[in-house]
Amino acid sequence: MSVLDSIIAGVREDLEERRSAVPFEEIVARAAAAAPALDAHAALTAGRSDPQGVRIIAEVKRSSPSKGELAEIPDPAILARAYQTGGAAVISVLTEGRRFKGSLADLDAVRAAVQLPVLRKDFMVDEYQFHEARAHGADLVLLIVAALDDETLARFLALTHELGMEALVEAHTEEEISRAVAAGAKIVGVNVRNLKTLEVDVAHYATMARHLPADVVRIAESGVTGPAVVADYALEGADAVLVGEALVRDGEPAEALRRFRTASLVHEH
């Protein structure tokens, strides 16, 4: 069993507990009653022409399967407001509990604290989770191509849009990019971390970027250790870069975020 398969097995178990507490009909009703989603697509568009630098998806992330404990984050709202101050385009919130120590409570706290689009970062494998994401104020959800067959990917993408949200469709290989585009993805992320082995190769983004169509929003994910990596991703055409570990471990996340954004400007001319 790969790391991805193991994580998804746990996600399904935890989901059944939440479904028992809040039945499907109830979560659908809560989603329908939520305030309309913010426009995440607009927030991520034209990152390369932004005079403030490349767009950053700043992540609230306590832990990871590869690195273990990253940061305690006693109050996600404080971190989220720092990200907003630093110029984040979108804030990503891990809601998976076993490997990432996230929760829907974290999502609620961040949603209440900022006026930016919020991404629910989880392993979306069941229709319930999409209504749940919307009920908790998410504007954007993650769809991992490696975790879904083509029919399910297309169905989940359609459901996401029906609920007024956008989907960050994550790929790792050329084949997965093709599958994402065929399903109708408008926002495609290339994760330079192989979710089956957890190995990271930042050069992988440049290799995969040439396969991304010009009309999708292009996101570089993982591997950011400092401003130079963000600059390289931007140089390879990334409209936005998702940054987690490097921000949560920095004592001044707002200032770190500004450095990441402006790093891309040195390559513009």
Catalytic residues: 59, 61, 121, 170, 191, 221-222
Give me 251's structure tokens.
Answer: 């004592």
Contacts of 15 (CB under 8 A, 6+ apart): 125, 126, 128, 129
Give me 87's structure tokens.
Answer: 């110029």
Phi and psi angles of residue 241, each rounded to the nearest 5 degrees, phi first: -125, 130
Torsion, Cα 22 26 31 33, to 10 degrees, reads -130
C-alpha dist (Å) from residue 6 to 13, 65, 90, 182, 266: 11, 11, 28, 27, 41
CA distance 78 to 85: 11
Q: How many CB atoms lie within 10 A of CB 149?
A: 10
